[in-house]
DNA sequence: CAGAATACGAAACTGGTGTTGCGTAATTGC
DNA sequence: GCAATTACGCAACACCAGTTTCGTATTCTG
């Protein structure tokens, strides 16, 4: 069933998101101007605001499009599985960190998105749903390893995954420390020593 | 040695910070308006900008004033010491989370401060120095426990503290899950099982 | 007392977000 | 074809952050 009135120009969405992505990754979140996006896209500002009610919503849409689907390839070795899983999270974080041509310890766009989720209930709700889904995958991974005897029977899966994912976010958003594969491996080792079943 | 010209009115700083604190905790970060603060404080906007170059800087000053000094009372039991230490971090996070009259999972002002640190190099630098100091205290705590034989000799102290502090921030800023004392205890248990020296 | 240096207040200004009102264009249902 | 409905462009607008200019006030130095 088609809606009643004049249909939206679907090309606008794609064009706007591409232009906004260019701006946000070239000049950062502050350098992203709605007026400029509208002008470069050749549309009126009202057309943008009909689709994304705030600049935050547009920025979220831009970043969401760049995050590839987060599928996990399970090997059966919990250490390798966790490292692979966390490495994808780290990659997404480093991508956002690099936005705006920034280097060094700054959290870049990642920090702005955290604030956007805090400002707008709908963005926060959407983001938390995404995180909940990702957390569920991580918890399932841990749970299966527990069942097959790789991990302690009485472990706290929620706390364990919080520790792992949390450490990555903590370094990117708070301390500014680097997050590379070597660190992810150190992290998993640190968390698993003792969560591995004792012999 | 006194500076040359007319001295600053020190009462202004206090009055402005108090009014800004009222606004930010009543209406949240967005509800904090520089014009309104200036009007309520009975000063010109230029006087505010002479002290805090941006709204972000003012907000940081407001929150910084509310964070009590983070002194640690060491008992000698690493589990208790970590719980106490993390509980203070959690308290500070929950205080910021409640700002703006918000309830529920929102990160509140905490999220805005992360973005502020990402936007302004000086704020970011200052914040990272604070975090580095706090991290050093945590690492020293862990190190002393390691030396006296409570913890594994080959543990990765940096990763361990990242895991603990990171999980708290992760829940407040990202997943929106609650962070109370019960969770802190679960967290420390999860991280220490296996970082404790094996008998 | 004279002059330099700094703080303050008032007002106008720039630029950006987000809104509103209105005329026009495209589509569906009758 | 005609009415209802929705999208679009244009322009003006309100609001806020941050800047600039200028006149005045307060302090230190000589």
pLDDT tens profile A59-97: 999 999 988 777 778 999 999 999 999 999 999 999 999
Segment A41-67 shows an average pLDDT of 97
Contact (Cβ atoms closer than 8 angstroms) between residue A110 and residue A172:
yes
B180 CA: distance to closest CA in chain A (Å): 13
The mean predicted confidence, pLDDT, of chain A is 93
Please name which of B165, B110, B115 lies closest in space to residue B136, comparing C-alpha atoms: B165
Question: Residue A5 CA to nucleotide C30 C1', Å?
Answer: 15
Lowest-confidence segment of B49-63, B64-78, B132-146 by average pLDDT: B64-78
Q: Which residues of chain A does B187 touch, with a Cβ-Cβ cutoff of 8 Å?
A: 159, 162-163
Question: Residue B117 CA to nucleotide C2 C1', Å?
Answer: 47
Lowest-confidence segment of A147-156, A177-186, B51-60, B174-183 by average pLDDT: A147-156
Question: Residue B100 CA to nucleotide C5 C1', Å?
Answer: 41
Please name which of A75, A69, A194 lies closest in space to residue A144, comparing C-alpha atoms: A75
The pLDDT-based confidence of B40 (bands split at 50, 70, 90) is very high
Residues B115 and A63: their CA atoms lie apart, in Å, by: 16
Nearest protein residue to nucleotide C10, judged by CA and C1' positions: B44
pLDDT of amino acid B199: 37
Contact (Cβ atoms closer than 8 angstroms) between residue A74 and residue A81:
yes
Contact at CB, A128 and B170, closer than 8 angstroms: no
Kindly list the protein residues whose beta carbon lies within 7 Å of any strand C atom.
A 1-2, 4-7, 32-35, 45-46, 49, 53-56; B 3-9, 12, 42-47, 50-51
Residues A110 and B182: their CA atoms lie apart, in Å, by: 29
The pLDDT-based confidence of B194 (bands split at 50, 70, 90) is low
Contact at CB, A111 and B117, closer than 8 angstroms: yes
Segment A100-125 shows an average pLDDT of 92
Q: What is the pTM of this model?
A: 0.94
B89-105 confidence digits (pLDDT tens): 999 999 999 887 777 88
Residues B135 and B118: their CA atoms lie apart, in Å, by: 20
Nearest protein residue to nucleotide C6, judged by CA and C1' positions: B5
Contact at CB, B173 and A173, closer than 8 angstroms: yes
Please name which of B130, B196, B125, B127 lies closest in space to residue B160, comparing C-alpha atoms: B196
Q: Is the dihedral of CA A79, A83, A89, A94 positive or negative?
A: positive
A104 CA: distance to closest CA in chain B (Å): 10
Query: What contacts B166, CB < 8 A, 6 or more positions away?
Result: A162, A163, A165, A166, A167, A168, A169, A170, A171, A174
The pLDDT-based confidence of B170 (bands split at 50, 70, 90) is very high
Question: Residue A57 CA to nucleotide C13 C1', Å?
Answer: 30
Residues B124 and A136: their CA atoms lie apart, in Å, by: 33
Work out the percent of chain B whose per-residue pLDDT is above 90. Answer: 83
B11 CA: distance to closest CA in chain A (Å): 32
Query: What contacts A127, CB < 8 A, 6 or more positions away?
Result: A60, A113, A117, B174
pLDDT of A199 > 70? The answer is no
Contact at CB, A108 and B117, closer than 8 angstroms: no
pLDDT of B197 > 60? The answer is no
Contact at CB, B192 and A192, closer than 8 angstroms: no
């Amino acid at each position: 069933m088609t809606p009643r009135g004049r249909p939206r120009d679907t090309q606008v969405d794609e064009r706007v998101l591409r232009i906004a992505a260019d701006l946000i990754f070239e000049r950062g979140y502050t350098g992203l101007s709605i007026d400029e996006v509208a002008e470069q896209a050749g549309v009126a500002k009202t057309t943008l605001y009909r689709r994304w009610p705030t600049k935050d919503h547009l920025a979220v849409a831009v970043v969401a499009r760049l995050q590839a689907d987060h599928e996990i390839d399970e090997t059966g070795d919990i250490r390798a599985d966790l490292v692979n899983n966390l490495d994808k999270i780290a990659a997404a974080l480093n991508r956002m960190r690099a936005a705006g041509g920034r280097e060094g310890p700054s959290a870049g766009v990642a920090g702005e998105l955290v604030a956007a989720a805090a400002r707008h209930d709908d963005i926060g709700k959407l983001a938390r749903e995404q995180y909940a889904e990702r957390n569920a995958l991580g918890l399932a991974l841990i749970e299966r390893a527990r069942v097959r005897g790789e991990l302690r029977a009485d472990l706290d899966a929620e706390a364990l995954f919080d520790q792992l994912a949390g450490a990555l976010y903590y370094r990117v958003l708070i301390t500014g420390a680097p997050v590379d594969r070597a660190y992810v491996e150190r992290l998993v080792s640190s968390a698993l020593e003792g969560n591995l079943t004792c012999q």
